[in-house]
Chains A and B, each alone.
Chain A
Amino acid sequence: MSDEFKIGGKVLQSRLFVGSGKYSNNRLIPEIIKSSKSEVITVALRRVDFMDEKENMLNFIPKECVLMPNTSGARNAEEAVRIARLARETGCGNWVKIEVISDNKYLMPDNMETIKATEILAKEGFFVFPYMNPDLMDAKRLRDAGACAVMPLGAPIGTNKGLKTKELVKILIDEISLPIIVDAGIGKPSEAAEAMELGAAAVLVNTAIASAENPILMAEAFGLAVKAGRKAFLAGTGAIKEFAEASSPLTGFLN
């Protein structure tokens, strides 16, 4: 059956988004894309060196891949907006992942500034993907501000701790009509599958792939896990039962 993911003016087959910033070599990027079958890659504009012919990260990204520049390093809405505009001016397309972090200790996203930046950039015609702390009210505000998806964190970025915010993400999935893309914290393919089973529209994974001993193989594992999780969601998982149901000793007389 067809299960295309239509988002930001694109039609995607894969629901795994990958990162680009933590690899030992930029030459791993095309390999990661290939083995994971991912079609979206996020790139920190702060790291892109357009002048460097040899190591410009963008040169390693296959043409058919959708580029999602991010505003890593922005400490407030104003900086995020400036970085996003810079990304568009330099030909990085009109997708942007808003990342506003004013806390370098835990690298937690600043929802308030993120909402402000989303509002400005959505009006300017960007497809805005805000990275956020999974708060329902803020997710609604992001939706109203014109975001095209909401990207709640699964756990603090770079921790590989898994889907620690599960209950909160579930609420976003139930209550927000936009695609929910779980970003940050996912450490293992099984956790990515879990997010997809819950009904997440996609998952973004960077650290778990980049910090694996074999990033290419791990990327493939994530690709498969996301696919499995998605299929499970579409199939509709059966209800979990606390007790076996051999007979009904208490209510049998009613039949």
Chain B
Amino acid sequence: MTFYDEYEKYIGLNLEEFFKEVRDEDVLRVLSKENLTRTDYLTLLSEKAEKYLEIMAQKSRDITTRHFGRVIFLYTPLYLSNYCENQCAYCSFSTINRMPRKKLALEEVEAEAEMISQTGLKHILILTGESRYHTSIEYIKKCVGVLKKYFTSISIEIYALDENEYLELINAGVDGLTIYQEVYNKQIYDEVHITGPKKDYKYRLEASERACRMGIRSLGIGSLLGLDDWRSEGFALGLHADYLQNTYPEVELSVSLPRIRPHVGSYSPKYDISDKNLVQMMLAIRLFLPRVGITISTRESSSFRDNLIGLGVTKMSGGSTTEVGGHSSSEHGEGQFDISDKRSVSEMAEMIYKKGYQPVFKDWWLD
């Protein structure tokens, strides 16, 4: 059994009907509890709960401070390649978009690593488009070999792999995996993933579990907000996180709440998710899953990100670029999506200190 089977049980559930029935006293009852059930979590995603955002925020801050302390973990993405075999409606790297394609040579990976390590960061997230041909496991392993000299924690955000491939990368020095389902709604998933290997919903959904079984240390999951109604996606994401936490308690889990950003191509989000909605979702997740990390990326504006500190967020990226070679090259091409918060790592650190929090550059080291 995997989360795929678990999630099937919820597919027929009429969320709108449930939300309609939620009364004020239901929200208040949930807010007075310490351990929330899945139904309690759903209650906090209701329209009714929006009224209680301030109480939720205060609870969330309290829980986050106790479990994580007054700290924010920092990391930055490093794009190795933008070759892709998929056609995904929401992404610049899609095969139908005519954009220059590039893959970093190992010397270029080293140049990027040197640039990034000057910021003091010890955690790196490496990304590729989805191309086994251009960015094979062998290639990624070689890149990890280079990066190990500069960073104490290496996470990957690449195409979904088989178990033995995850094991190969873990043995090569990878300790974290980020893999978003993008959208849990199966029908929408099929619509936006037009062609390519990513079209296989189940293989994608079960990827995180394959990595967990092979001993990955940390795992980040997420739903790309705007592809479907945020309440149902938020519920699915919470269920997924809850399932993973219960099934693989040894894994450090975090969830990400990316909202769709402008990109090359013509797709515009079908569903709106306001700042208020995003905050409600984040707070509901914190109250439901007190020890799960929450990541807010540079897709969000700097002022919005600043305001989220203290509400429940635990991880942020800084000095981000979604371009291949974007850290060390002065030539600028097309990225995967537009970045809203363009601040450097040191500017991020300064802001975090100003907010009364400590930026953490290093949080894992084994060898």
Contacts and interface: CB of A to CB of B under 8 A. Distances in A.
Interface in B25-66: 65-66
Interface in A85-127: 86, 102-105, 107
Contact of B291 (A102, A107, A160): A107
Nearest to B361: A49
Interface in B311-367: 353, 356-358, 360-367
B68 interface: yes
Given A75-B250, A104-B245, A211 B364 contact: no
* Residue in B217, B364, B365 whose Cβ sees the most chain A Cβ within 10 Å: B365
Contacts of B66: 158-160, 207, 211
A236 to B, nearest CB: 35
B145 interface: no
Contact of A22 (B70, B251, B365): B70
B69 A210 contact: yes
A55 B360 CA distance: 9
* Residue in A25, A26, A207 whose Cβ sees the most chain B Cβ within 10 Å: A25
Given A75-B250, A107-B291, A46 B362 contact: yes
Contacts of B250: 75, 102-104
Contacts of B245: 104-105
Contacts of B363: 46-47, 73
A211 B65 contact: yes
A24 B291 contact: no
Q: What DSSP secondary structure best describes chain A's contact surface?
A: loop
* Residue in B252, B356, B358, B367 whose Cβ sees the most chain A Cβ within 10 Å: B358
A82 B364 CA distance: 13
Interface string A21-56: 111111000000000000000000111110110010
A160 B62 CA distance: 11
A52 B249 contact: no
Contact of A24 (B122, B249, B356, B362): B356
B291 A73 contact: no
B291 A52 contact: no
B242 to A, nearest CB: 10
Contacts of B65: 22, 211
A102 B249 contact: yes
B71 interface: yes
A226 interface: no
A159 B35 CA distance: 13
B67 interface: yes
A22 B364 CA distance: 15
A52 B118 CA distance: 10
A73 B252 CA distance: 9
B358 A26 contact: yes
Nearest to B62: A211
Contacts of B217: 75
Contact of B365 (A21, A25, A86, A211): A86
Nearest to B246: A105
A83 B365 CA distance: 8
A25 B357 CA distance: 7
B291 A104 contact: yes
A79 interface: yes
A103 B362 CA distance: 21
Interface string A1-24: 000000000000000000001111
A22 B367 contact: no
Interface in A72-86: 73, 75, 79, 82-83, 86
* Residue in A23, A24, A107 whose Cβ sees the most chain B Cβ within 10 Å: A24
Given A104-B250, A104-B252, A105-B245, A210 B361 contact: no
A24 to B, nearest CB: 4
Given A23-B70, A24-B356, A210-B70, A45 B249 contact: no
B257 interface: no
Given A24-B70, A105-B245, A211-B69, A45 B365 contact: yes
B110 to A, nearest CB: 18
Nearest to B217: A75
Given A210-B69, A211-B65, A83 B362 contact: no
B125 interface: no
Nearest to A208: B66
